[in-house]
Structure 1
Amino acid sequence: MEKKYKGPTGILGFPIAPFTNNGQVDEQALESNVDFLVKEGLGAIFINAGSSEFQSLSTEEYELMLDVTLATTNGKVPVYTGVGGNISAAVKLAELSEAKGAEGYLIMPPYLIHGEQEGLYHYYKTIIESTNLKALLYQRDNAIFTTDTLKKLADFEQVVGFKDGHGDMELNIEISHALRNRLRLMNGMPFAEVTMPSYYSIGFETYSSALSNYLPHISRMFFEALKNQEEDRVSELYQDVILPINQIRKLKKGYAVSLIKAGMEIVGLPVGEVVRAPLVPVEREHYQQLENVINRAFQRYPLADMSEVKKS
Structure 2
Amino acid sequence: MNRKAPTGILGFPVAPLNNQGKLDEKALEANIQFLLDEGLEAIFIACGSGEFQSLNTKEYTAMLEVAISVVNRKVPVYTGVGGNLSTALEWARISEEKQADGYLILPPYLIEGEQEGLYNYLKAIIEHTNLNAIVYQRDNAILQLPTLEKLTELNQLVGLKDGYGNMELNIELTQSLRKRLGWLNGMPMAEVTMPAYAPIGFNSYSSAISNYVPHISRMFYNALLSHDQELLSELYQNIILPINDIRKQKKGYAVSLIKAGMEIIGLPVTDRVRPPIVSVDKEHYAQLEKILTQAFDQYPKSSKQVLS
* TM-score, length of structure 1 as denominator length: 0.97
Question: In 2, Cα distance between the equivalents of 1:223 and 1:144?
Answer: 27
Residues 220-240 of structure 1 deviation map (CA, whole Å, 9 limit, x = unaligned): 000000001111111111001
Per-residue CA deviations over 1:91-120 (Å, capped at 9, x if unaligned) read: 111011000000000000000100000000
Deviation at 1:58, TM superposition (A): 0.5
Distance 1:211 1:73 in 2: 20
Provide Cα deviations, 1:148-175, integer angstroms capped at 9, x if missing partner.
1111111211000100000111101111
Which stretch shifts more, 105-114 or 148-157? 148-157
Question: Is contact 2:89–2:128 with CA below 8 Å preserved after alignment?
Answer: yes
Tell me how far 1:140 sits from its aligned partner. Answer: 0.3
Partner of residue 195, structure 1: 193
Residue 88 (structure 2) aligns with: 90
Q: Choose which of 220, 223, 227 in structure 1 pairs with 2:221.
A: 223
1:269-288 equivalences in 2 (<5 Å): 269-288=267-286
**1:272 CA displacement:** 1.3
Match of 2:261 in 1: 263
Alignment match, 1:251: 249
Question: In the alignment, is residue 49 of structure 1 matched against residue 70 of structure 2?
Answer: no
Which of 286, 297, 300 is 2:298 aligned to? 300
Taking the TM superposition and a 5 Å limit, the aligned residue runs for 1:60-139 are: 60-139=58-137
Q: 1:78 to 1:311 in 2, by over 3 A?
A: closer
Query: What's the CA shift string for 1:238-294, capped at 9, x where partnerless?
Result: 001000000000000000000000000011101111100000000000000000000
Q: Find the partner of 1:11 among 6, 9, 27.
A: 9
Following superposition, the deviation at residue 180 of structure 1 comes to 2.2
Q: Which residue of 2 aligns with 1:36?
A: 34
Partner of 1:80, secondary structure, is strand
Distance 2:3 2:81 in 1: 21
The percentage of counterpart residues that share the same residue type is 62
Shift of 1:5: 2.3
Runs of 4+ in 1 over 4 A off after TM superposition: none
- Partner AA of 1:122 in structure 2: N
Distance 2:300 2:178 in 1: 36
Q: How does 1:200-211 map to 2 (within 5 A)?
A: 200-211=198-209
Shift of the alpha carbon at 1:21? 1.2
Match of 2:162 in 1: 164
SS state of the match for residue 70, structure 1? helix
Answer yes or no: is 1:177 the counterpart of 2:180: no
Matching residue's letter, 2:115 = Q
Q: In the superposition, relative to structure 1, how do residues 310 and 12 fare at CA in structure 2: closer, same or farther (>3 Å)?
A: closer
TM-score by length of 2: 0.98
Q: Give 2:141's aligned residue.
A: 143
The separation in 1 between residues aligned to 2:161 and 2:151, in whole angstroms, is: 14
| In 1: Cα distance, 2:175 partner to 2:306 partner | 32
Shift of 1:50: 0.2
Q: Residue 67 of structure 1: CA displacement?
A: 0.5
Q: CA RMSD in A?
A: 1.0
- Residues 155-209 of structure 1, C-alpha deviation per residue, up to 9 Å, x if partnerless? 2110001000001111011111012210000000011000000001111110000
In structure 1, C-alpha distance between the alignment counterparts of 2:241 and 2:4, rounded to whole Å: 32
In 2, Cα distance between equivalents of 1:126 and 1:28: 34
CA shift for structure 1 position 311? 7.0
Q: Name the CA distance, whole Å, in 1 between partners of 2:307 and 2:246.
A: 32
Structure 2 gap segments, 5+ residues each: none
Distance in 2 (alpha carbons) for counterparts of 1:214 and 1:201:
27
Number of aligned residue pairs: give it. Answer: 307
Q: Provide the rounded CA distance (Å) in 1 between the counterparts of 2:88 and 2:219.
A: 36
Tell me the secondary structure at the aligned position of residue 113 of structure 1.
coil
How far apart in 2 are the matches of 1:28 and 1:86?
Answer: 29
